[in-house]
Structure 1
Amino acid sequence: MTSMHPSGPGNLRLIFPQWQGAAGAGAVGSLPAGQPHQTQLSYHLGPALLQMLSPDHDGPTAYVPVSTDTSDAAVETVDGIYARRAVLRQLRAGLRVLSEADPASVVTFGGECSVSVAPFSHLAARYGPDLAVLWVDAHPDTGTPGDSYTGFRSMSLATLAGEGDAEFLAALPAVVAPSNVLHVGLRDWQDPGIANKQRMGISSVGITDTPEDTRRILDWLALSGATRLAIHVDLDVLDRRDFTGATGNGTRGMRVPDLLRIIDAVSDAGEIVGLSLAQHAPLELLRLRGLLRDLPV
């Protein structure tokens, strides 16, 4: 279906369970009381489930070490970024893993949205302007430090495109020109990052559940001149009728058949060298863990 088979040559499967980019420690629904950060920590559990449910992979697999320390000191907001020290340390760790493996292509299981920054930056260093990025997400992720929301996930695409915290940018081996980035499925037009997205010149294609969406994406790709693609999929872009394992999604999102149709179409127009799945939040399993904690098991 796509030109990058999960067991293809040079392909690295990267497990990056980062949760610190999602600021805020509020519990959700029936999560056990008195256990802060459980919503965020669900992002730490999600990548393991994605890996377990995925087809067998006969290529290399690498893991980025991610702290689960939720102390006040560990998640302190510094320079407008929640848990800044942990996020920067883990970004550098991910880049070291990628530098050592030097893969030609990467599949990343996250974690919140910022897990795409390291692998896509690695691919940008390898392929230069021949790399285009499809950012399939309900939110722009083009915020900057100082915005009202301090989670780095909301700044991930802006950072990848060369704007943001200077120390984060200095860690990256390369950035992607905004003209080589396309938002797909964006629907949160009230997000503070929208103004920055528009100033940067990042284009968008909405999803109307018709082949016209695919044609517009293919037209954009042809104009970019890029022949290689990195695709970020935030699972909260999906319609709740198809998938409920993400936070913040609704019944006006992208249907799974439309997502598969788009990926199939672009794989015929270029080589997919990067694919990230992010924002898997298995909250029901955390609720189950709370039940097990209170049972005599």
Structure 2
Amino acid sequence: MKRLKIVLPQWEGGVNPNYVLGDRLMDLIVPAEQLPTVTIPVADVNDPEVLERQHGIDAYQALQGQLTAVQGVLATMQPDKVLMVGGECAVSLAPFDYLSGRYGRNLGIVWLDAHPDISTTEESHHLHEMVVSSLLGKGAPGFNAHHPLASDQVILAGLIEEDLRPMDHNVFDYQVQRMTPKQLREAPNALSDWVRGHGFKQVAVHFDLDALSPTAFRSIYPAEPGTDPANFPAAVGQLTLPEVANLLTQLDQNAELVGLTVAEHMAWDALNLRQSLSGLSLLE
């Protein structure tokens, strides 16, 4: 089976340059040194024109270019399995669409995230908030999947339902199955049961680190030092690393794991240390 790792420090879909350093560090953390690797360049974080809004999407041109670059790599190398080490959540769009085209209805998608990422340009201008809707073929203009998934091929795992926002209404409109952290704890086999119950032979997992609790994992957006996660303006994850590790292991044992994205690593200590040293004349 041909495997490929793609490193994409994409920040534009969340309009947050901090994801660039987070992705570079994540590339060192993920234990996949043996995999052939392609790194996709991203736009200059200091270029104000990068974020120009077109068709309701901030940084439309930059994101289109990066999407096309990843699609080109996948079309050329034709891997059977893809590991995506990414910045914000929109990095899953190209590889999961590719895997959908490769495996069709045999593919199930586990979206491990505190948020559903299922908006459209009517509710958001950030591509990372509409990745799932785009994979379903109902999302962002110019970013909808070439091989759209059916709603029953996706499960939203770790979703904080009580904190869903009006922009998340498509969770209900598209009838996507979902499981809260509490449900995952009460039924540790639920995701693997979902895979077997639907007859999926292959599975791809999108792991947004925001699915984790800020008390269990500090390198996520809601865990910014000096702030209270209770005041974070979106849902805050509740899972622990051991719980996620168990879920991933079970999925790996009950289906062929052909895709994995690890995204939204916010390395606060590294970012703050870098910023603290940046003004020193010795380093200029």
- Secondary structure in structure 2 of the residue aligned to 1:182: strand
How far is the alpha carbon of 1:194 from its aligned partner? 2.5
Tell me how far apart the structure 2 counterparts of residues 112 and 285 of structure 1 sit (CA, whole Å).
18
The whole-number CA distance in structure 1 between the counterparts of 2:263 and 2:164 is: 22
Whether 1:168 and 2:143 are equivalent positions in the alignment is yes
Q: Deviations over 1:188-213 (max 9, x none)?
A: 53323421121111100111286533
1:154 aligns to 2:129 (yes or no): yes
Mark the CA change 1:119 to 1:252 in structure 2 (over 3 Å): closer, same or farther: closer
Aligned to 2:181: 207
Q: CA RMSD in A?
A: 1.9
**Structure 1: tracts of 5 or more residues without a match:** 1-8, 24-39
SS at match of 2:85: strand
Structure 2: how far apart are the matches of 1:70 and 1:182?
37
Q: Displacement of 1:69 after TM fit?
A: 4.1
Counterpart for residue 95 of structure 1: 71
Cα distance, 1:287 vs. partner?
2.0
- Give the drift of 1:259: 0.5
How is 1:253-264 mapped onto 2 (pairs within 5 angstroms)?
A: 253-264=238-249
The superposition leaves residues 213-259 of structure 1 with CA deviations (integer Å, 9 ceiling, x where unpaired) of 33332332223221100000000111122211111365761011111
* Structure 1 segment 165-204 matched on structure 2, within 5 A: 165-169=140-144, 172-187=145-160, 189-204=163-178
Structure 1 position 13 matched with structure 2 position 5: yes
Structure 2: gaps spanning 5 or more residues: 224-228, 230-235
Give identity over the alignment, percent: 30
Distance 2:154 2:108 in 1: 6
Offset at 1:22? 0.6
Rounded to whole Å, the distance in 2 between the matches of 1:271 and 1:167 is 30
CA contact (8 A) 1:207 1:213 kept: no
Q: Which of residues 104, 109, 112 in structure 2 aligns to 1:136?
A: 112
Structure 1 residues 109, 205: closer, same or farther in 2, change over 3 A? same
Q: Is the 8 A contact 2:97 2:148 kept in 1?
A: yes
State the Cα deviation string for residues 159-209 of structure 1 (Å, max 9, x = none): 01111233222xx44122111000000115332342112111110011128
| TM-superposition CA deviations, 1:77-116 (whole Å, max 9, x none) | 2222111111122111111111111110011101100001
> Secondary structure in 2 aligned to 1:150?
coil
Q: Which residue of 1 aligns with 2:232?
A: none
Matches within 5 A, 1:29-178: 40-147=16-123, 149-169=124-144, 172-178=145-151
Instruction: Give the TM-score normalised by the residue count of structure 1.
Output: 0.85
Q: 1:295 to 1:73 in 2, by over 3 A?
A: closer
AA matched with 1:73: E
Match of 2:214 in 1: 240
Aligned-partner Cα distance in 2 for 1:64–1:220: 34
Count the aligned residue pairs: 270
Inter-CA distance 82–10: structure 2 relative to 1 (3 Å threshold)? same
**Greater RCO structure (CA 8 Å; 6+ sep):** 1
Residues 70/295 of structure 1: CA separation in 2 closer, same or farther (3 Å cut):
closer
Cα distance between partner residues in 2 of 1:85 and 1:50:
26
| Length-normalised TM-score, structure 2 | 0.89
- Do the aligned partners of residues 155 and 277 (structure 1) sit closer, same or farther apart at CA in structure 2, a change above 3 Å counting? same
Query: Which amino acid in the other structure matches residue 150 of structure 1?
Result: H
Measured after TM superposition, the shift of residue 286 of structure 1 is: 2.4
Contact 1:20 1:82 in 2 (8 A): yes
